[in-house]
Every structure is written in structure tokens, then in C-alpha cells.
Amino acid sequence: MGREKKLIIGNWKMNLGVHDASLYLHRLEKLVKVHRNVEIVLAPTMLAVQTLSLQIDRRQFRLAAQNFYHRDFGAYTGEVSAAQLKGVVDYALVGHSERRHIFNEHDKDTRAKVQAAIRNDITPVLCIGETATEHSADETRDVIHDQLAAGLTNVTSEEASDIIVAYEPVWAIGTGINAKPADVTKAVLAIRSQFKHLFGSKVAEEVRILYGGSVNEDNAADYLMLPGIDGLLIGGASLDAHVFSAIIEKAHKNSKKDT
Ligand code: PEP
């Protein structure tokens, strides 16, 4: 997948059950136009993934898993694997800050999950970002570097160009506090420069990078127009179909190829 489309991912987190997820989908289907320059991805609760996969028109929407276990099969009670999600979802979030900070996922887990997703033909959306303390200590670049280095261990150049990176400062997620566009640009440059170092210039140019953190209808365009930003990862604002579809329209207008 190239960078010609803006990618908008709605992360519903632990909201909307199966019934409400279907109702939401029907509402969104009516609100959202199909734009060839925007790809829309929905990340529902795991329980609704299968149901929505039977209901969505894949020309309009794609699905992402919010999480999965890194082993393919076995005695892992309560877990769902990338192998089981294969063919059902196209994308999967890896290392979301809520996984890292509430569920204590470490770099070794994100590394294993990136590998599991790739092995099962699912595009990983590797989420990285600094905490408020790290931000105040001016450690953003180091944190991004370390999280990327860990997540991308054992990834080949060919695989790397297909990975998506979501830069999400932890302090901006669900708080209503936005990262400054200039700081996001700096982070994006740092991410591309690390990709260049690890995988070469071509991959650094091709990798898709998203911003996430309290994006709403009013500020979405500020991020979408940043050089090097390929889309958005949206939590809270994706739960309102009207707001989410308004953000999608902004992505359409801000996409390079206005088709
Ligand atoms: C997220 O869940 O990745 C996120 C960015 O949430 P919010 O948009 O609510 O800050």
C-alpha cells in the first residue's frame, strides 16, 4: 500500500457491544462517501470483529483488531491470535499506550506482536509515544527511537515498508490536550530518519505515519496537512458517527490526490 491515501482509523476501545457496533456501522455507511483517496478502518471490540467483517463493504471500510496474542495457537485461555484474525481484519494495533501502560506490555511483547501480525498477513499499526514526564524531560526522541527499535527488530526492509507507525503522545490520548503540530512534525521526521537508517531511503519514504491524541473535528485538518503525516488514529471522536465522518471529509480534502 502506497501513501497516496489518507488512512483514518477509529479505535472504539472497550465501547459498543455487538448490537451497537452494527447500528453504528449502518449509521456511518450512510454518512460517509467512498473516496478513493481515503481509507477508513474501524477497530471495534474483539467481540464485534467477526460480525462487522460480515457486514462491511470492504470498498468502504476495513477492520482492525485492537489487540491480539502473539502466539498462533495453543493453551492460552482467553486470548485471540493473529492467526485466528487472519482474513477477518486487515490491520491490528500493536503497542497502544493503554496496552503498554495499563496492561504492562513491554517492548518484547510489541516485537513479538509485530512479527505475529506480519506472519499472518495483517498490517501492524505500531503505536509509539512518550509519557508526560518524558515529554517534560525532553526525551521524546529517545523514547520514539527505543520503541521503534524494539518493535522493528527482525523486520525485513520489504516488510518494513508495509508497517504503519502511529505517533501518539501518551499525554494527548483521551485528555483533550493536543500535541503541537510542530512537535508532531519533529516526531515524524525522527521516525522517517530511523526508518532510513534501518531500512534505507525508499522504505523511509514509503512508510505510513499517523498521528493520534485527542483529534477531533476542529483540529483534524491541522494534523492532516502536516508534511509526512498519512492519517489519524482516533479514539473518542470516532464514537460519534457524525464527528468521525466529518473528520473523514477533512481527510478527503487534505489528501494529495483529490480523486
Ligand atoms: C487512541 O485511542 O489511540 C486515541 C488517540 O484516543 P483519543 O483520540 O481519544 O485521544
Ordered by where they begin, the domains of the chain are 6-254 (3.20.20.70)
Q: How far is the CA of 8 from the centre of ligand 1 (A)?
A: 12
Q: Is 50 exceeded by the pLDDT of residue 258?
A: no
Q: Is 70 exceeded by the pLDDT of residue 176?
A: yes
Q: How far is the CA of 233 from the centre of ligand 1 (A)?
A: 7
Q: Is 90 exceeded by the pLDDT of residue 257?
A: no
Give per-residue pLDDT as tens, 219-230.
999 999 999 999
pLDDT > 90 in the chain, percent: 94
Q: How far is the CA of 242 from the centre of ligand 1 (A)?
A: 17
| pLDDT band (50, 70, 90) for residue 2 | confident
Q: Is 70 exceeded by the pLDDT of residue 256?
A: no
Please report where in the chains the cell 474483539 appears, as a residue: 46
Q: Maximum distance among all alpha carbons in the chain?
A: 49
Please state, in angstroms and rounded to a whole number, the distance separating the CA atoms of residues 66 and 196: 28
Question: With a 6 A CB cut-off, is 188 part of the ligand 1 pocket?
Answer: no
Residue 30: what are its φ and ψ, rounded to 5°? -75, -30
Question: With a 6 A CB cut-off, is 233 part of the ligand 1 pocket?
Answer: yes
Give per-residue pLDDT as tens, 61-102.
999 999 999 999 999 999 999 999 999 999 999 999 999 999
The mean of the pLDDT values for the chain is 95
More confident residue, 127 or 256: 127
**Nearest atom (ligand 1) to Cα of 98:** 2
DSSP secondary structure of 126-171: EEE---HHHHHTT-HHHHHHHHHHHHTTT--HHHHTT-EEEE--GG
Nearest CA to ligand 1 atom 8: 235
Q: Which of 6, 92, 105, 96 is nearest to 46 (CA)?
A: 92
Question: With a 6 A CB cut-off, is 173 part of the ligand 1 pocket?
Answer: yes
In this predicted structure, what is the pLDDT of residue 34?
Answer: 86
Q: Is 70 exceeded by the pLDDT of residue 1?
A: no
Residues that are catalytic: 96, 168
